[in-house]
Amino acid sequence: MTWYWIGTAAMAAGSAFFGVKAASADARRWQILWSLYFFICLIAFALYLVMATGYGALEVGGGQSTVWIRYVTWFLSTPLLLLGLTYLGRSSATLTGGLLGANAFMIATGFVATILPEDTPAALHLVWWAISTGAYVAIAWAFVGRYKREAKTALPASGGVFDRVVLVHLVLWTAYPAVWLVSVEGIGAIGASTEALLYMVLDVAAKVGFGFLAANSLRTIERNGDADAFAPVQVATA
Ligand code: RET
Three-class HEC string of the chain: CHHHHHHHHHHHHHHHHHHHHHHHCCCHHHHHHHHHHHHHHHHHHHHHHHHHCCCCCEEEECCEEECCHHHHHHHHHHHHHHHHHHHHCCCCHHHHHHHHHHHHHHHHHHHHHHHCCCCCCHHHHHHHHHHHHHHHHHHHHHHHHHHHHHHHHHCHHHHHHHHHHHHHHHHHHHHHHHHHHHCCCCCCCCCHHHHHHHHHHHHHHHHHHHHHHHHHHHHHHHHCCCHHHHCCCCCCCC
Q: Are 89 and 143 in contact (CB under 8 A)?
A: no
Q: Calculate how far, in angstroms, residue 71's C-alpha sits from the geometric centre of ligand 1.
A: 9
Smallest CA separation from ligand 1 atom 13, residue: 78
**In angstroms, rounded to a whole number, what is the distance separating the alpha carbons of residues 140 and 143?**
5
In which residue ranges of the chain is pLDDT below 50?
A: none
Residue 70 included in any domain: yes
Looking at residue 238, its pLDDT comes to 62
Q: Which residue's CA is minimally distant from atom 18 of ligand 1? A: 177
- Give the per-residue pLDDT at 120: 85
User: In this structure, is residue 238 part of a structural domain?
Assistant: no
Closest CA to ligand 1's atom 6: 177
- Nearest CA, atom 11, ligand 1: 173
Q: Which atom of ligand 1 is nearest to the CA of 135?
A: 19
In a domain, 34, yes or no: yes
CATH number of the domain to which 131 belongs: 1.20.1070.10
Span from the CA of 173 to the centroid of ligand 1 (angstroms)? 6
Closest C-alpha to ligand 1, atom 20: 173
Does residue 184 form part of some domain? yes
Domain hosting residue 81, numbered range: 2-225
Give me the pLDDT at residue 36, please: 98
131 found inside a domain = yes
The neighbour count for residue 167, using CB atoms within 10 Å, is: 12
Ligand 1 pocket, residue 180 CB under 6 Å: yes
What pLDDT does residue 35 have? 98
pLDDT (0 to 100) of residue 185? 83
Task: Tell me what pLDDT residue 237 has.
Answer: 66
Give a yes or no: residue 230 inside a domain: no
- Closest Cα partner for 22 from 84, 112, 79, 111? 84
Asked if residue 45 belongs to a domain, the reply is yes
Q: Output the pLDDT for position 223.
A: 96
Flag whether 46 is in a domain. Answer: yes
Domain count for the chain: 1
Our answer on whether the CB atom of 77 is closer than 6 Å to any ligand 1 atom is yes
Q: Model's pTM, two decimal places?
A: 0.94
- d(CA 177, CA 2) in angstroms, rounded, equals 23
